[in-house]
Amino acid sequence: MRFQKPLVKGTLIKRYKRFLADVKLDTGETVTAHCTNSGTMKTAIEEGAQVYLTHHNNPNRKTQYTWEMIKINGDWVGINTNHPNQIAFEALRDGEIEKLQGYTSVKREVKKGKSRIDIFASNDKEECFIEVKNVTMKSENKAVFPDAVTTRGLKHLNELIEAKAEGYRAVMLYVIQRMDVDSFGPAREIDPEYGKKLDEALWKGVEVIAVQVKVSPSEIRIVREIPLSAK
């Protein structure tokens, strides 16, 4: 996924009210940016760190900027939760994820029952429902999800379990927007119920795939799949 226009560089002053962040631009101007990430961002926030923003020429927006990434431990961490779905869609379309290659049709936001699944992929042999999650939190060298209790996440796992029982291929795809980790697992200490439900989903045939992306001010690209940790 390439950014369509140059990003704006600045320094994080503070994040507050979950969805807002004050940033001092390199020009010296202080602006308020929208933070799409509603989680705690426990390991993806550092006041005084470099950040990049997208500027929007839309007078109807409450804020004219969206916070895209932050530099942590010398590398960029993507915090825009709107991007993983686009990253995943492009990757499936272009055959960039080895375990999800071979689909001739890839669609976003496909209705299933009363819900919408992030991605629906198909070919002449199978149909596959894919839910996508953004991951920014780490524990030591492991990426973990979620960073706060998530009833929505439980709902999505249940929907994938149901899809698998109905004969579809079902995949939970975690997009890890940082490079300083080498495995992925559920954050059991934060949300034990999510961890249990993920275990159940795996046991019932839902596939779990974690891909690591390299974030930069020009693009976000998939680098590799990383292994799952059972702990």
Structural contact between residues 20 and 33, judged by C-beta atoms closer than 8 angstroms: yes
In terms of pTM, does the model score above 0.85?
yes
Position 113 scores a pLDDT of 80
Class (C level, CATH) for 83-226: alpha beta
Domain 8-77 has CATH 2.40.50.580: yes
pLDDT of residue 230: 67
Query: What number is the average pLDDT over the span 80-90?
Result: 96
Residue pLDDT, tens place only, 3-15: 999 999 999 999 9
> For the segment 151-185, what is each residue's pLDDT rounded down to a tens digit?
999 999 999 999 999 999 999 999 999 999 999 99
Q: How confident is the model at residue 229 (pLDDT cuts 50, 70, 90)?
A: confident
Tell me the average pLDDT across 174-197. 96
What ranges do the domains of the chain cover? Answer: 8-77, 83-226
Is there a shared CATH topology between the 8-77 domain and the 83-226 domain? no
State residue 61's pLDDT score: 87
Mean per-residue pLDDT over the chain, rounded? 95
**For residue 58, is pLDDT > 90?**
no
On the question of pLDDT at 59 being above 90, the answer is no
**Secondary structure of the chain in the HEC alphabet?**
CECCCCCEEEEEEEEECCCEEEEEECCCCEEEEECCCCCCCCCCCCCCCEEEEEECCCCCCCCCEEEEEEEECCEEEECCCCHHHHHHHHHHHCCCCHHHCCCCEEEEEEEECCEEEEEEEECCCCEEEEEEEEECEEECCEEEECCCCCHHHHHHHHHHHHHHHCCCEEEEEEEECCCCCCEEEECCCCCHHHHHHHHHHHHCCCEEEEEEEEECCCEEEEEEEECECCC
191 has a pLDDT exceeding 70: yes
